[in-house]
């Protein structure tokens, strides 16, 4: 058992990221790396690490994390129009869990839980589950 309460034997490929973005909407975390950042001499890996903090993995550390799963998710969010989002959401999120999370956020008026008070969990299959933290 990890110090975070995750069972390494049950979920050996679990990844948990915390959104670091502290803007009003935290939507900035979901902008893909681009020319502006490159022209400002920001490395792609550093760009993603400033908004997504790896807080748990049995297999990697913050230093060894390539952020490949996060990059895939962010790049999909960045290009997905309404039709692509609807047609491919199940390749990126557990749809039922995502909508239950959204409904709960709306019910409790926990708008911070749509960004900076959000953790994303992936059990190794590239399907993401949003998770609450810091509900005050």
Phi, psi of 63 (to 5 degrees): -70, -35
Residue 6 domain flag: no
| Count of domains observed in the chain | 1
Scan for tokens 């939507």, then name that residue: 27
Q: What's residue 50's pLDDT?
A: 86
Q: What's residue 5's pLDDT?
A: 64
Domain that holds residue 125: 15-132
- Compute the distance between CA of residue 43 and CA of residue 1 in angstroms, rounded to an integer: 34
- Compute the distance between CA of residue 16 and CA of residue 130 in angstroms, rounded to an integer: 10
> Per residue of the chain (136 residues), what is the pLDDT tens digit?
555 566 777 778 889 998 876 554 455 667 788 877 777 888 889 888 888 889 888 888 889 999 999 999 999 988 899 999 999 999 999 999 999 999 998 999 887 777 778 899 999 899 999 998 777 6
Q: What's residue 4's pLDDT?
A: 58
Residue 1 domain flag: no
Q: What's residue 122's pLDDT?
A: 93
């Amino acid at each position: 058992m990890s110090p975070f309460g995750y069972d390494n034997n049950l979920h050996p490929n679990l990844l948990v990221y915390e959104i670091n973005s502290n803007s009003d909407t935290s939507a900035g975390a979901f902008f893909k790396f681009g020319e502006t950042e490159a022209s400002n001499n920001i490395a792609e890996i550093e760009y993603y690490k400033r908004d997504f903090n790896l807080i748990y993995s049995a297999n990697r550390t913050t230093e060894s994390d390539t952020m490949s799963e996060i990059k895939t998710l962010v790049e999909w969010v960045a290009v997905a129009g309404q039709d692509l989002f609807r047609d491919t959401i199940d390749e990126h999120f557990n749809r039922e869990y995502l909508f239950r999370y959204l409904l709960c956020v709306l019910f409790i008026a926990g708008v911070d839980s749509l960004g900076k008070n959000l953790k994303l969990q992936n059990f190794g299959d590239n399907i993401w589950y949003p998770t609450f933290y810091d509900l005050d």
